[in-house]
Amino acid sequence: MNGAEVLDIGRDAIWLTIQLCAPVLVVGLVVGVTIGLFQALTQIQEQTLIYAPKIIAIFVSLLLFLPLMGALLGGFMREIAARIAGM
């Protein structure tokens, strides 16, 4: 294994991490901005109001995206195992 292959594996791992984290982070961002906008429009200044909807939305998004995350991680692991076997 040369340096280019190591960099290729590292790049693939970083891209996989972005793919795994992005859906959950986007859901948290959308819920946070929506609740913040609601608080601004109604002039409710309760700082703890945002946590419960955000936690619930992130938990639901994890349940929805878990099959996709598992498939992506499984594919990456198969690719790494194939590279190890090919050495």
- Tell me how far apart the alpha carbons of residues 87 and 75 are, in angstroms, rounded to a whole number: 19
Best CA proximity match to 59, nearest among 35, 22, 27: 27
pTM of the model: 0.81
Quick one: pLDDT at residue 76? 96
Q: Is the pLDDT of residue 1 over 80?
A: no
At how many degrees (to 10) do helices 51-85 and 3-42 cross? 170
pLDDT of residue 46: 82
Q: Which tokens go with 12? A: 């693939």
